[in-house]
Structure formats: structure tokens, C-alpha cells
Amino acid sequence: MVKILTDRDVEALVSVDELLSAVSEAFRALSLGEVLMPPRSRIGVSGAGDILLMPCLAPSLKVFSLKIVSVYPGNLEKGLPTTNAVVVAVDPENGIPRLVAEARALTGLRTAAATALSVKHLARSDSKNLGIIGCGYQARWQLLITSQVMRPQRVYAFDMYRDRAEKFAEEMGGRIGGKVELCYTPEELVKSCDIIITATTSKTPVVRKEWVRPGTHISAIGAYTPEMAEIDPSLLASSKVVVDSLAAAKEEAGEIIQAVKAGLMRWEDVYAEIGEIIAGRKPGRLSWEEVTVFKTVGTAAQDAAVASILLSKASDK
């Protein structure tokens, strides 16, 4: 019998510790070639958005998963969610579908886990101030999960829609038990923070090189097409750049693609995949002064990680 899980079920079933452990294993296995993950298929719906198909077989997590996700930026103006998704989880031992889960929360959780792991391995241990650019649905998960890893003293937020930023600050201040301070410009936020998360669909950089202090860590999670770019290409070229998947980045990481095309850097200049650092094949941060950038476009291996948790919990019931 196939179990059906809602986003609320997913939130209730997945703990932070389980999440970080499973996603860490997914990244490790991905970088060591232990998962089968075909390239993500993207179908553009003219004038509306994108529909993505993301399959993955993860033997160490004992799951095959397929996520169908849509990203429709114009939904914001219609009062609808920008991102919607479902995941199908299949038992790889017998090929039987075991569950179908709404995946909006799942996507939020696994993407936030990627940022949290990048903070763990790349940010300075004395980082105190956390900033988030883009205050949509994903930003909520980013703050909730990342704050479990770094325990920020101050949190800053910026969104081009002021009312959305205000709503985010009010809601999340209560959820993290501390004040979320709003900034009037991205520059103000960047100059105030040790760790910066960008969660936008911008096609022009929202973080400029001249704003960034030495020792800053940036997690860029929003851009997922060659046309999108949240980070100044010149900043990327002068930073230690880590990706979730190099193969996926070459197809979808707009900031890096644009920096390479401009002759500012080469693909060989990408320092590592996060899984290589997790596996101990490469060190993370090497100095207090270096600027680190984690660029994630999202991988099906991360979806499989959360699906594996859900499968184990569903089996327990």
C-alpha cells in the first residue's frame, strides 16, 4: 500500500539531526560515485515557469526517489506558492512504490540542510551574524535549520518586497526566539554579516564583491538556470567556490557559468564538491580571511536523503 504524506506529515517526521545526517551521507555518496543520478530534466512552460524531473538511486540510503517540482515566479503575484513539488519513493529491492509525499517542505528541508552543512564545513567558527536575502518560503527553512548549526547572535533580512520581509521578520523572530532585523538594501545586509544566504530568483547579482568582508561565507541557493545569478562573478572568481555537484553546476549554476564565459575563472577553479569535504578528501576552510561561496543548484540525492527518512518512519508505523 502506498502511503500518502502531506507537507505537515513531512515536517513532523523529519528531525534536524536525522536531516543533516542523511543529507551529509547523500553528498558523500554522490561525490564518491555511489549514487545513480541522471541529469535533472527541465521543461520550460513559456511565460509561466519551469517543471523539473529529478530521479535518484541511492543504495546507501536504500531508496529510489523521483521528485517532480515546479517553479513559477509569477505565482507570487497571484497569491500562490512559487514552488510546488511531490516525491515518489520506491523500494529499490523490489521496485515497489512505497510512498508519495508532498515535497514543498521536503525541498525546503533538504536545501536548508545543504546550507547548514556548508556552514559547518566552510564558515568561520566565530561567525555571529546571519543574513538572508530573499524572504520567501525557502528562506524560512534556511533560517530554521542553519540557526541550529551556528546559533546566530543577530539575524538580518532583506527582500525587494518590503511587506514580505516584514512578515518574514515577524514570523521567524517568534520561531527562533530572537529578533530578525530588516535591512533596506542588500549592501547594508552584506556589510553586516559573517554568513549570507541568498534565496532569490534574480538574474542580476544581489551580492557584490566590494561589499563582502574577509572571512565571509556565502550560500547561494536561488539561481538554478544559466540565466540566473545572485553572486557577482568577480566575487566568485576571487573566492573559494564549493558546489553540490560539479556536473549539475556546469549545466545550471548561472553565476559560475557566467563567470567562466566572461573569462574570470575556469571550471578547474571550483575548489570542491561539498561531498568531497564531508568525505575528508579535501579540507574545508583553510584560513580566517578567505571568502567561501557554496553554490547549490539542488540535487536529487538530497531528495533521496529525506525520502529515506520518510520511508524508515513510514515503515515504523
- pLDDT tens across 232-285, in order? 999 999 999 999 999 999 999 999 999 999 999 999 999 999 999 999 999 999
Tens-digit pLDDT profile for residues 148-193: 999 999 999 999 999 999 999 999 999 998 999 999 999 999 999 9
Query: Per-residue pLDDT averaged across 292-300, rounded?
Result: 96
Confidence of residue 317 (pLDDT cuts 50, 70, 90): low
- Tell me which of 3, 62, 67, 203 is the catalytic residue: 67
Q: Check whether residue 67 and residue 157 sit in a common domain.
A: no
Q: What is the pLDDT of residues 275-285, one digit of tens each?
A: 999 999 999 99
> Same domain, yes or no, for 152 and 59?
no
What is the per-residue pLDDT for 219?
Answer: 98
> Does residue 113 fall inside a structural domain?
no
240 is catalytic: no
* Pair (37, 64) in one structural domain: yes
Domain that holds residue 62: 3-106+301-316
Q: What percent of the chain has pLDDT over 70?
A: 99
Q: Are residues 290 and 306 in the same domain?
A: no
Q: Is residue 10 exposed (0-12), middle (13-18) or buried (19+ Cβ within 10 Å)?
A: buried
174 and 295 co-located in one domain: yes
Q: Which grid coordinates are listed for 152?
A: 546566530
Q: Is 166 exposed, middle or buried (0-12, 13-18, 19+ CB in 10 A)?
A: middle
Q: Are strands 240-243 and 272-273 parallel, antiparallel or unpaired?
A: parallel
CATH code for the domain of 82: 3.30.1780.10
Domain CATH code at residue 193:
3.40.50.720
Cβ atoms within 10 A of the Cβ of 116, count? 25
Q: Is residue 118 part of a domain?
A: no
Query: Which among 302, 202, 198 has a CA at the least distance from the CA of 248?
Result: 302
Are residues 287 and 311 part of one domain? no
pLDDT of residue 73: 85
Other CB atoms within a 10 A radius of the CB of residue 316 amount to 7
- Spatial CB neighbours of 17, under 8 Å, sequence gap ≥ 6: none
Residues 141 and 283 in one domain: yes
Residue 24 counted as domain residue? yes
Question: Are 211 and 187 a contacting pair, CB within 8 Å?
Answer: yes
Please check whether residues 95 and 211 belong to one and the same domain: no
Same domain, 86 and 151: no
Q: Could you give the number of structural domains in the chain?
A: 2
Pair 256, 162 in one domain: yes
Query: Average pLDDT for residues 97-120, to the nearest whole number?
Result: 96
**For range 2-29, the mean pLDDT:** 97
In this prediction, residue 315 carries a pLDDT of: 67
What would the pLDDT profile of 49-87 be if each residue is shown by its tens digit? Answer: 999 899 999 999 999 999 998 989 899 889 998 888 899
Angle at CA 287, nearest 5°, toward 281 and 288?
135
- Burial degree of 263 (CB within 10 A; 0-12, 13-18, 19+): exposed
